[in-house]
Each structure stands twice: as C-alpha cells, then as structure tokens.
Structure 1
Amino acid sequence: MNEDFATAMLRAVRSTRALKLAEATRVIQNALAGQLALDTRTSTPDITPSPPNRRSTPFPIDPDAEVIEPSAKPAVEESANSAGDGTASRRLRNSLGETVRILREGRLASGVFGSLHDVSLPGLAKRGPPAVVPDGAQFLARSFTCPAGSRSYRLYIPASASDRPRGLVIMLHGCKQDPEDFAAGTGMNAVAETHGLMVAYPRQSGADNASFCWNWFRPADQMRDEGEPSIIAGITKEIMAEFGLDRSRIFVAGLSAGGAMAAVMGETYPDLYSAAGIHSGLTYGSANDVVSAFSAMRGNGGLASHPKRLANGHRLRTIVFQGSADRTVHPSNADRIVAAATPTGSGWAVRKESGRSAGGRTYQRTTVVDAAGRPAVEYWLVEGAGHAWSGGHSAGSYTDPHGPDASSQMVRFFLDGQK
C-alpha cells in the first residue's frame, strides 16, 4: 500500500468518526480508484466495463444484501460531540488495516458507514445470491489442480438424474462474475434439471486476472494442454470419468470473456466437447494481448495471433447469441465466429427466420444445416440487446430478461445434435 493511499484511509476513518459520511465516501472512492489504477499496471487490465445496471453513485448498496453480524463486541469511543445530558454517542471503531480489508472485500462494516450491508465496488466480482437447489439435487463446491494451475468450481447435479446424468455443460462466466452469480443470471441449473444434465461452473481467480476474466487473449491460454484451457479441460475430464460420460454429451458455453474462452476450448479440444455455445464472445485467435483484445472487441478483428490448433481441423457444432446494440463486444465478432464454425464444401443449406421473444425483443435466427437438416451452426442476433445474457434473470449480472432464452435454446441445440 502506498503512502498516499494510507493517508487517504486515515482521513476517511477520521471523517467517519466525526459522522461526516459523505466526505468519507468521497475520500475512499477516490483513493480506491487511484489504488486500483496502480494495481492494474502490474496485472491484467479489465477489458469489460461495469454491468449496465450499475448505479453511478458511489458505493451503491444492494437492497437485497445479506446483513453481516459482527463476530465480536466492537470497541467504542466517546464522541467529541456528546449529547446535552452527558450521554456520549457510541460508534463502532475499526483499525485502518481492517477498514482497508473490508473495502477490498467489497463490503462496508458498521464502523465505517454505520450499516452492515454488502456493497458492490468497481473491479470486484459480484457475489451471486444463494443458489436455489431442488430437493434431491446438489450444487457442490469442488476444486481441480493440474500442472497448469488450480481452479475451484461449482457442480450442479440434477435431481432428475442424480445417479447417471445425461450429460454435462461447462459454463464459463464473464468478467466481474463468479459461478454463483452466473448460475443465478443464466438460470442454466433449472434448464439442466429439466433435461437431466449436470452443469459445471469453473471459477476464475483474482490472482490470475484482476477482473476475474478468463484470459482468452493471451497466447499461453490459447493452446491445448497449456494454461487455462488445460485446467478447464481437466475439470471436464474429471467429471466425465467420475460419472461415466462420453464426448457426445459434453458441451461448453460462456458469456463475454467466458464466451471467448468457450471458443478457445472448442478449437483446442474438439475431441472433448460435442458443441459450444458462445454468447457475446469473440472468435478463437482474434487477439494476442490486451491491446489487440480491445481492438477485436471494437470490431477490428481478424486473426491477431497464430495459436496452436488441433491438427484434425474439426469444426465444433456452435450456437451463437449476440445483441445488436452491444457496445462492449461489437456484433461483427459474432459474424466471425459463425464464419469460422461454418463447414466448408457442398451439401450445406442456410435457413433464416425472424421472431419476437415473450419479453418483446425481436431477433433473427440463422441456421446452417446439412442435407439431413441437422444443424451445424445457429446464430441468434437479438435486436436492441446489449452486452447481457439473453433471457437471463435479474438475480445475476449482465442479463437481459426481455430477450429469447439463451440457456434453453443452447441446451436444445446441444441435444438436437444427438438425434
């Protein structure tokens, strides 16, 4: 911690004790912004903006946040401004180190702002709400380690097929998200329950990316048997072996940075997955560093790097969702994903249709099918939608409840290939 940041924290604590809460808020906000800027100089920068529904006011408090009770009786001090009857006002006190720790964890304690609520801070992953698990189902916390590194993950085991699930969906969250948030926002557990599928949600760590993004743009994380692809594939293989699953029922999907990493997994491990779902993502190999990642996200794409592909050149069956009004990932990226996934040669037909979701959003669906009518690629362009999971739930971040249900459509597409 640099000296300026420590000084600002001391000022904030003094302002808080004097009940000058607005001043304390401003000081901490400015100090954290400066400190986070310094931190990201030596770590991977955030390449995804804040969720569209984030308030502009400092330290917005979630009205549904869980109250955190203090674990021990706090120290108190006598206010310099005692009441007229001689009774001193008493307030909670926290050390500077404790105050900074609380702020970095993304919450405010009673000794800082007088209320015990979780809050959302810029640059910190949103903690998802507790998962609703049907009777007989499980939502387990697990971890996996291999030579490339370690990641924890959540695994949903459906009540409808707890002994022998029908398949597995690997779900890769976006920046500033975590498995719990992503599960709540996409509603994928409920869809999987209907079809007897398991869902695994690998968790990106803050130590590996300051904004909890999957590092889809780094050459070291675009290769088979290396980096993050090796870890995600390892999680997949571990679950497959435990539950006796074969490749025909293994799928990978993701949003934003997670969608881009799903594209990486489809290219580097087409022998492991049967189909991929990419929502608001980018094509494999479209960037090789942060600068080219920003360029690709703006729509200035192409293959900026030459990552290691699997030698057989197999194209994975792919379903793509993209909002036409996405200002984070330009819609042209979806066109590139579709072009890369479309099989070459004769015998393929393109079908187009338009529709309107129950929530009111119109969409265009383009499907590439073989001579027997089996879909190889499906592309949903949702009119007016931004950078958000289509048809998602407001319980999670980056969701658009008004669009067609991406989770249901992805699972339908995945399973259609098995007919």
Structure 2
Amino acid sequence: MHSISDTIARLKDRSLPILRTGGSDNNLAPLEGSGSNPGALRALLYVPGSLPAHSPLVVVLHGCTQTAAGYDHGSGWSELADRFGFAVLFPEQQRANNPNLCFNWFSAEDARRGSGEVESIREMVVATVERHRLDPARVFVTGLSAGGAMTAAMLACHPELFAGGAIIAGLPFGTARGVPEALERMRGRGHDRAGLVDRVRTASPHRGPWPAVSVWHGSSDATVDAVNAAMIVDQWRGLHGVGEPDTTERVVGYVHRIWRDAAGRGVIEEYAVAGMGHGTPLATRGDEACGTPGPHMLDAGISSTYRIAAAWGIVPAIAPPRPVEAPAIAPLSPTRFDPTATINDALLAAGLIRR
C-alpha cells in the first residue's frame, strides 16, 4: 500500500498497481446474493470446515492498493479462524469505485448509514450471519488504514451490528468530507475535537450499549499521523463515558492502555507501537504468530491479529502452543550383520591390511 496521501491525491489521475503480498483468492469464496449493494463492493468469505452454528464472525477491511486475499495472507485472519473456529468476511473494493482500491471513507455518500459502501458492508454482514447461522451477538470488524477509517464508519453508522471493532492506522469517524480534508486529517491537522462524539451520536439512532474499540498505531507512521489514534480514543471515550485509562502497561515493550466502564468491562484499548511505520503489526515467532510480513504488513514482534481476537474473546487470552508437524522419518532399510566385513574394515582402518 503506497502512501494514502499519494493515492488519494491521484484518485482521479491514474491507478496504482495492486500490491502483491502473497496469497490468492483460492482460500476465499465469493459471497453471492448478499442483498443490495449500492457501494458496488465485492464480498469474499472464509468459513472453516464443520464450523458450528452460532460461531463468531469477523469482518476484515483491507487498505489501499490491497486485495482481500492479499490482506488475509498478510494478517493471517483465516489462519486464525481455522485454529479457533470463526468465520471471516472480506468486503473488497473495486477499481470502478476507487482506482487505488481505497474504501471511500472520506465520501459522504459512502460513509453514511443506509448508503453506499457502508450499506453494502451491512448487507454482506446480515447475509453471512443468516446463511451460516452465525452468532449475531458476536460480530466484529477490523481494518487497516483506509480500511481502518471505514471500520470507524461501520462502528459509527451501525453500532447495533458489532460487539467490537479494531482500527489499525486509521482515522476517527466523520472528520473528513472530500479529498482535501482527508489529506489534512491524515497529516493530523484541522481536527475538531469538540464535535468528535456528536458525529457518532448523530450517525445512527442507536443510544447504546456501544461496541468495544481497539486502536493500534505506529509512532513513526508517516502516512496517517499518530494524533489520529488519540482522536479515535477521545471519540469513543466520550461515547462510553470513561475518563483516564484504568490500566497502563507494557506488552512486548509497547505501551498498552485499557479503559473500563462502571461494570469493569474493557471498552477501549490502545496499543502504541513505538518505532513502527504505517501498517499492521505482526509477530512471526511464538504461539501468537500468524500472517506473513510484506508491504505494510510489519513484523513488530506483536500480533495485532491474535491480540485483537483475544480482546474480543474469540481466541484464548494466552495463545496455546501452535501445532507442530513431526518431521517425516525415512524408514530404516533392514541390514544384515557381516562379522567378516566388520573385522576387515577395522584392520583396514588400522593399516594392518591393504585392499
């Protein structure tokens, strides 16, 4: 994924190449007949074999110039779904909507309840839950960058659909209308802090309870300034009615803060990934490891995919040991003991006889 500043600025000029981060559509099946699709998005689905009814659903939104399959390969969501049993829905942007495959989070038409891309994603969620008999109380959404900003839009426009969401290198909801404002907000400029909470409150008739939100951002992100992470936290602190964080700790060396409501439920968490640029943090070693590093899929020694799923309660809080396949052992060929040959080999080695 190239800099979103560059991609948005050139939306009407030319298309950037699709980033190839490995993987293919072979792991993902098209979701046909998912209702109305005013945003003209594609829907892809991963459902592990023999998935029980009432299993969770995770909705995953890729970043600019990425495909659903490429982001799945990098983030490891379907790999985790296989291990722990949940379905994964991948809405995918199309070139006709956005030449660089960015979700149009900065478009009023696409980031509004009942309209455009937000409505397309809602229809996909409803169809997937009904068709596969999933648990409507355990539907979650996450995304990177433009996908993270669209995740914020889904949580704001349809909070009744989601138990939780995770915004990675994204922006708060409702802060940009059009390309110029989007560029300014991505640089961390021009944010209206006073209107943050009201933008979500007026996006739907919902009045609570609100989804839990996980926020991830690299401190060295030169594409979406880290001030946006603070703005997302402030937006949802106002909705949940919480003040200062209840817990501040270090996880794998990174600052992790948690806000809890009056009932003690963690409603907001934030990971500040020191030194990381623009992308999804991965772990390539250890029991939490999943996914594959690539462009904007960054080995930071911490698996955002696993830890987000753990915060939602759909994987164990402490990762169990990863299954290890035993190496194949070649069968031993039967041998026949020849005492004469053994004696001769010893005498030859000692130099007492010659061949």
Please give the TM-score of this superposition, normalised by the length of structure 2: 0.76
**Aligned match of 2:204:** 310
- Determine which of 20, 35, 41 is the counterpart of 1:151: 41
Distance 1:184 1:418, change over 3 A: closer
Q: Does 1:123 align with 2:16?
A: yes
Query: How far apart, in 1, do the equivalents of 2:207 and 2:30 lie?
Result: 35
Distance 1:149 1:402, change over 3 A: closer
Q: Secondary structure at the match of 1:247?
A: coil
| Deviation of the 1:164 alpha carbon | 2.5
Q: Secondary structure at the match of 2:23?
A: coil
Query: How far apart, in 2, do the equivalents of 1:130 and 1:229 lie?
Result: 26
Per-residue CA deviations over 1:143-171 (Å, capped at 9, x if unaligned) read 44515143222211123x42436111000
Q: Secondary structure at the match of 1:320?
A: strand
Q: Does 1:409 align with 2:300?
A: no
Query: How far apart, in 1, do the equivalents of 2:25 and 2:37 lie?
Result: 34
1:349/1:370 contact within 8 Å kept: no
2:20/2:66 contact within 8 Å kept: yes
Query: How far apart, in 1, do the equivalents of 2:242 and 2:155 lie?
Result: 23
Query: How far apart, in 2, do the equivalents of 1:234 and 1:154 lie?
Result: 13
Structure ranking higher on relative contact order (CA contacts 8 Å, 6+ apart): 2
Structure 1 residues 260-339: aligned runs within 5 Å:
260-300=149-189, 301-302=191-192, 309-314=203-208, 315-339=210-234
Query: How far apart, in 1, do the equivalents of 2:316 and 2:75 lie?
Result: 23
Distance 1:346 1:232, change over 3 A: closer
Rg: which structure is higher?
2
Q: Does 1:230 align with 2:119?
A: yes
Structure 1 residues 127-276: aligned runs within 5 Å:
127-130=20-23, 139-143=28-32, 144=34, 146=36, 148-159=38-49, 161-164=50-53, 166-276=55-165
- Determine which of 261, 266, 272 is the counterpart of 1:370: 261
Please give the TM-score of this superposition, normalised by the length of structure 1: 0.65
| Deviation of the 1:191 alpha carbon | 1.6
Query: How far apart, in 2, do the equivalents of 1:281 and 1:407 lie?
Result: 16
2:40/2:117 contact within 8 Å kept: no
Q: Secondary structure at the match of 2:99?
A: coil
Distance 1:377 1:312, change over 3 A: same
Query: How far apart, in 1, do the equivalents of 2:273 and 2:22 lie?
Result: 27
2:159/2:206 contact within 8 Å kept: no
Distance 1:396 1:163, change over 3 A: farther
**Aligned match of 1:13:** none
Per-residue CA deviations over 1:85-131 (Å, capped at 9, x if unaligned) read xxxxxxxxxxxxxxxxxxxxxxxxxxxxxxxxxxxxx7122245335
Per-residue CA deviations over 1:239-281 (Å, capped at 9, x if unaligned) read 0111222332100100000000000000000111111010000
Query: How far apart, in 2, do the equivalents of 1:254 and 1:248 lie?
Result: 20
| Deviation of the 1:183 alpha carbon | 0.3
Query: How far apart, in 2, do the equivalents of 1:132 and 1:210 lie?
Result: 20
Query: How far apart, in 2, do the equivalents of 1:417 and 1:270 lie?
Result: 22
1:171/1:254 contact within 8 Å kept: yes
Unmatched 5+ stretches in structure 1: 1-35, 47-121, 357-361
Aligned length: 297
- Determine which of 341, 344, 353 is the counterpart of 2:249: 353
Q: Secondary structure at the match of 1:264?
A: helix
1:354/1:365 contact within 8 Å kept: yes
RMSD (Å), alpha carbons: 3.1
| Equivalent AA in structure 2 for residue 352 of structure 1 | T
1:204/1:214 contact within 8 Å kept: yes
| Deviation of the 1:312 alpha carbon | 2.7
Distance 1:246 1:164, change over 3 A: closer
Q: Secondary structure at the match of 2:312?
A: helix
| Equivalent AA in structure 1 for residue 249 of structure 2 | E
1:287/1:296 contact within 8 Å kept: yes
**Aligned match of 1:62:** none
Query: How far apart, in 2, do the equivalents of 1:149 and 1:394 lie?
Result: 30
Per-residue CA deviations over 1:295-340 (Å, capped at 9, x if unaligned) read 0000112369968511234332100110000000100100111111
Query: How far apart, in 2, do the equivalents of 1:344 and 1:270 lie?
Result: 13
1:247/1:272 contact within 8 Å kept: yes
Distance 1:339 1:346, change over 3 A: closer
Unmatched 5+ stretches in structure 2: 1-5, 284-290, 318-355
